[in-house]
């Protein structure tokens, strides 16, 4: 990464929710920026494949992506479309914490300029900068907690609707 790219990269990183605690700490933001590799992904390219093991976080600096899931019958459906113009867009943050299977497919709907952070680089960074690494990990964990709580509420709502449906048709 060229030094001239750093200000643009740090500007993008400052808007990523789990880096926000450091947005006014220029030195820390530059260290985080040094973890980033830049990639240009062409329209139609699969960025992340559901079911594959992954170890990269993708921050979409420019472009639009589509999040796709498979049903139990292997039919694909679009969960959402995200555009970097609308705000901070990132996918694969779980890969910074574990090396498990990807939970969805992500496709470049347009040409996408991405910043990519590798899990091993992030872990090494956290080992060298434990306060920063712990804060970022806690921020990611907090987001996951919110998503899990929402998913639990959704399951209860669906279960209640199913019970109501069964009891009115039975």
Helix (H) or strand (E) holding 61: strand 56-62
The pLDDT assigned to 112 comes to 96
SS3 157: helix
* Spacing of C-alpha 16 from chain mean position: 10
Residues in CB range of 112: below 8 A, 6 or more apart? 40, 41, 45, 47, 60, 61, 62, 63, 64, 65, 84
What's the pLDDT tens digit per position in 75-95?
999 999 999 998 889 999 999
Residue 121's CATH number: 2.60.120.10
- CA within 13 Å, CB half, 69: 5
Residue 6 has pLDDT above 60, yes or no: no
Measure the CA–CA gap between 141 and 76, rounded to whole angstroms.
28
For the full predicted model, state whether its pTM sits above 0.75.
yes
From residue 114, give the alpha-carbon distance in Å to each of 44, 92, 93, 110, 134. Answer: 14, 12, 14, 12, 24
Q: Which domain holds residue 87?
A: 3-169
Domain total of the chain = 1
What's the pLDDT tens digit per position in 33-91?
999 999 999 999 999 999 999 999 999 999 999 999 998 898 999 999 999 998 889 99
From residue 138, give the alpha-carbon distance in Å to each of 46, 68, 130, 143, 164. Answer: 29, 27, 12, 9, 39
């Amino acid at each position: 990464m060229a030094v001239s790219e750093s200000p643009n990269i740090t500007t993008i990183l400052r808007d990523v929710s789990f880096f926000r605690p450091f947005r006014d700490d220029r030195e820390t933001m530059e260290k985080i920026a040094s973890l980033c590799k830049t990639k240009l992904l062409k329209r139609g390219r699969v960025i992340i494949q559901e079911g594959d093991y992954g170890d990269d976080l993708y921050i979409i600096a420019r472009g639009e992506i589509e999040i796709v899931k498979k049903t139990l019958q292997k039919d694909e459906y679009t969960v959402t479309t995200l555009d970097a113009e609308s705000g901070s867009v990132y996918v694969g943050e779980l890969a910074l914490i574990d090396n498990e299977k990807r939970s969805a497919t992500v496709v470049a709907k347009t040409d996408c300029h991405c910043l990519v952070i590798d899990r091993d680089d992030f872990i090494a960074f956290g080992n060298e900068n434990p306060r920063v690494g712990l804060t970022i990990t806690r921020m990611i964990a907090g987001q996951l907690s919110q998503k899990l709580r929402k998913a639990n509420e959704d399951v209860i709502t669906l279960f209640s609707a199913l019970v109501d449906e069964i009891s009115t048709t039975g």
